[in-house]
Each structure stands twice: as C-alpha cells, then as structure tokens.
Amino acid sequence: MRSSKKAVFVAGMAALLVAAMSGSAGAGEASVVGAVATASGGGTYTFSATISHADTGWDHYANKFDILAPDGTLLGTRVLYHPHVGEQPFTRSHTIKIPAGIKSVIVRAGDKVHKDGKKTFTVKLPER
C-alpha cells in the first residue's frame, strides 16, 4: 500500500475506532422538554414529564426524572427501568405529595452516563 493511501486508511480506522468507543457518550444528557402537574387532592400531585434523550441501549439511557423544590430539595424520583430507543421524546408520570407552601417545582431528567441533566423544566402547581 502506498504511503498516502496507508495514511488515509489508518486515519479512517482511527476515526471508526473513536466513534465506536464513544458511541454511548454521543447520546448526550437527558432533557425535560415539557411537564405538567395535576392536583390529586390532599397535597398530592401527578407530574407528567416529557423527556428527550438519544437512548442507545442498556448502557446509556434516560433512567429517571426528579421533582425538586425551588431550593433544590429532592421531593421525589420516578425511576425509568429500560431504554426508550426509537420512542423519543417520551412521557411518563409520577405522583407525590408536595409540602404546603411550595408553589412550583423543577423537573429534572437523568441518564446512566451523565447523571442529572442540565435542561430542566419549571412547573407552576395548580391550586390544591
């Protein structure tokens, strides 16, 4: 093989190797792209969160969403037990009791590789 063809071949193989090894990192962080809250009575609310993440399989998928108080206190977590490859974005719900006095919450998604995502969604709570 001539040296210029060999260099192109080696560079191409290196690029393929890097792409293969970083495939799970390419999915990026999980993001909340929408959320709504419905009052269920007695200070309990059902949160429906729409999450976007380029799930690649069991090694890298959106695996939870959290409900946080405005000060960052964790109020509840919905665990997502399997990848949603080909089902993006997707919506899941979680019902929790919210302490009196809280008027809004932050919904944050997470994935197995990057943990907590930076793109959150703030939801104003309906009247109790």
Q: Is 108 within the bounds of a domain?
A: yes
Q: Is 89 within the bounds of a domain?
A: yes
Q: How many domains does the chain have?
A: 1
Q: Is 96 within the bounds of a domain?
A: yes
pLDDT of residue 118: 92
The answer to whether residues 37 and 47 touch, using CB atoms and an 8 Å cutoff, is yes
The answer to whether residues 107 and 67 touch, using CB atoms and an 8 Å cutoff, is yes
Residue 92's domain is classified under what CATH number?
2.60.40.10
**Helices in 22-101 by DSSP H: which ranges?**
none
- Is residue 3 helix, strand or coil? helix
CA–CA gap between residue 62 and residue 120 (Å, rounded): 14
Distances (CA, A) of 113 to 14, 18, 59, 68, 100: 24, 17, 8, 21, 34
pLDDT of residue 19: 36
Q: Is 19 within the bounds of a domain?
A: no
pLDDT of residue 127: 85
113-124 pLDDT, tens digit per residue, is: 999 999 999 999
Q: Name residues of the chain where pLDDT drops below 50.
A: 3-25
Give me the domain span that covers residue 44.
28-124
Q: Is 13 within the bounds of a domain?
A: no
Q: Is 2 within the bounds of a domain?
A: no
pLDDT of residue 27: 67
What residues have CB less than 8 Å from 3, skipping those under 6 apart? none
| pTM for this prediction | 0.77
